[in-house]
Amino acid sequence: MFHVKHTKIIVVGGGHAGVEAAGAAARMGADVSLVTLNKAAIGAMSCNPAIGGLGKGHLVREVDALDGIMGRAADAAGIHYRLLNRSKGPAVQGPRAQMDRALYRAAVQAAVAAHGIEVIEDQVVDLCVQDGRVVGVVTTQHGDLSADAVVLTTGTFLGGVIHIGREMRSGGRMGEDASSALAKRLRSLGLPMGRLKTGTPPRLRKDSIDWDSLESQPGDSEPVMLSFLSKAPAARQIHCGITHTNSKTHEIIRANLAESAMYSGNITGSGPRYCPSIEDKISRFADKDSHQVFLEPEGLNDNTVYPNGISTSLSAEVQLDYVRSIAGLERAEIVQPGYAIEYDYVDPRALDATLQLKALPGLWLAGQINGTTGYEEAAAQGLVAAMFAVCSARDEPMEIFSRSNSYIGVLIDDLIHRGVTEPYRMFTSRAEFRLSLRADNADQRLTPIGVDLGVVTAERHSAFEAKLRSLDEGRRVLGRDTYSSKEARSVGIELALDGSKRTGLELLGLPKVEIGQVCELVEGASDLPADVLAQLHREAIYAKYLERQQRDVDRLRSEETTEIPRDLDFAAIHGLSAELKEKLRKAQPTSIASARKVEGVTPAALNAILLALRSREIRLRA
């Protein structure tokens, strides 16, 4: 795509959202300046050393499909790959990889340099506003910097306060200053803002752990890559360890809850419900005798281990006590205490579908400033915000991401319409079109959009076109001939004896049919690349379900106008979680359309409400 107008974009913050924003704008031909407090921290993983997971893996693939940085950087640094939900269908499987922190940071910084992005080490303390529009930023050392658009990605730095027990200190993350002046400036604008919190566990010395006494967790023997351009891991693969908390651990934590920042009243912000601190786990799940802890080495040459599952804001002394009560950690040493961090966010309902502030044109927000949690959610927002910022500055058309074409669309739609009461995390259950929004087909869904917007490079475009040609050839080979039940039985595939015939593609979609059986039957199929066969197998499996899904979605849309009686007892509806029942009780939605906007309401929950309404109607008629 050829652009005549010179475009200047300033990105504030060098975290995952900021890096993707800067990269996207640069790929679109904009002149990009990335302003960050610490150049060396670009690409740093503030919390867990992993990329991907359930729902999150879909976002990584979608960012990668738009030629983002995260997927390729992750595959350059991945040391332990696991496909989550492997026993379930492809639609809800989540690719995940544990990183070598140093390798990941190096890969991200190399990508930033390769994009030709100007990195300015400075602090943004104010916005330049002219005629009601943001036209730049004010920094402490470089003064005023002008731009056509500004993308703000402050992470946990905006008014950040670190909590360790009763100790409180200003900070964006351990060892780095908070962005207090900018937080004050945003609040002065009268924006709808609030406080959220997140936390991290203590880091342990690897050589102080009794690894021989722990359960070993290997990675997958056939790793699933995070980038469509990657073929195999670049780094040496390792094993992780698994242990569990116990009754003694829980006793220590209960006895010291008053020392926790969350329970002492020092923190007012809400934390992530689906990634609770160990204090929350002990309090909320008092009936559980133990909780699983994954011991994840932070690098091949790093003597630090991330104990996933024991995030905390207890004092350093109590942390050491409860850590040493856990099997295999009796002599463990803490190299950095865990902590909670509270920070400012802007209510995302103040944004439009491009992530631009409605009340302040020229300013786009992305990442935790919008109330989300997670590297992947941040990266997706950063990329989208920058793409739309560039398009807006050039007066070019934009294609808004929708719930039907991407998890990115689901993420943005949820944020700007429902807002957040706790840090937002992506799950596959949030997507009503999840059968078609699979991680494996993210490039087929989004790369053409990226090409049209000019965010996809020639290298990615060429690789994508080659993949499409291979898939088309595979469909031609597998769909060329039909096979009788007798021919199918010759390779172990059982068909109904009704005289009907099926193509190779149709056979692939049958339950318990393996790719090898179809390759044995269909001439030329065994010559197709393994990844092409695997992709066509997934497509065949879902072919018949996609039609049914579309019917369900159409029905749901038609029923959105259905009224909900005020006396409907949400607590009596089967299929709703206790938390959702309480949210619905408080919100008292008057229709299915308004119920959809209640935070946490999934398509399955809407169907449960509709079923309850139909049952109620039948009873009233009887």
Query: Which residues fall in the annotated binding site?
Result: 13-18, 124, 179, 271-285, 368
d(CA 538, CA 533): 9
The SS3 assignment for 535 reads helix
Strands 31-36 and 118-121 come out as parallel
Which residues belong to the annotated binding site for NAD(+)? 271-285
CA 298 to chain centre: 20
Which residues belong to the annotated binding site for FAD? 13-18, 124, 179, 368
- The secondary structure of 230-293 as a DSSP string is --S-SS----EEEEE--HHHHHHHHHTGGGSHHHHT---SBPPTTS--HHHHHHHTTT-S--EE
CA dist list (Å): 415 to 184, 344, 387:
23, 16, 18
CA nearest to 152, candidates 182, 115, 129: 182
Kindly state the tokens that stand for 217. 């967790």
CA dist list (Å): 177 to 37, 157, 180:
8, 7, 9
Query: Which residue type sits at 80?
Result: H
Q: Residue 97: CB partners within 8 Å, gap ≥ 6?
A: 50, 51, 52, 74, 75, 78, 79, 80, 81, 82, 223, 226
- Per the CB < 8 A criterion, the answer to whether 256 and 318 are in contact is yes
d(CA 5, CA 26): 14
CA angle 414, 407, 547 (to 5 degrees): 105
Helix or strand (DSSP H, E) at 542: helix 530-558
CA nearest to 41, candidates 159, 180, 155, 204: 155
- Per the CB < 8 A criterion, the answer to whether 303 and 206 are in contact is yes
The SS3 assignment for 493 reads coil
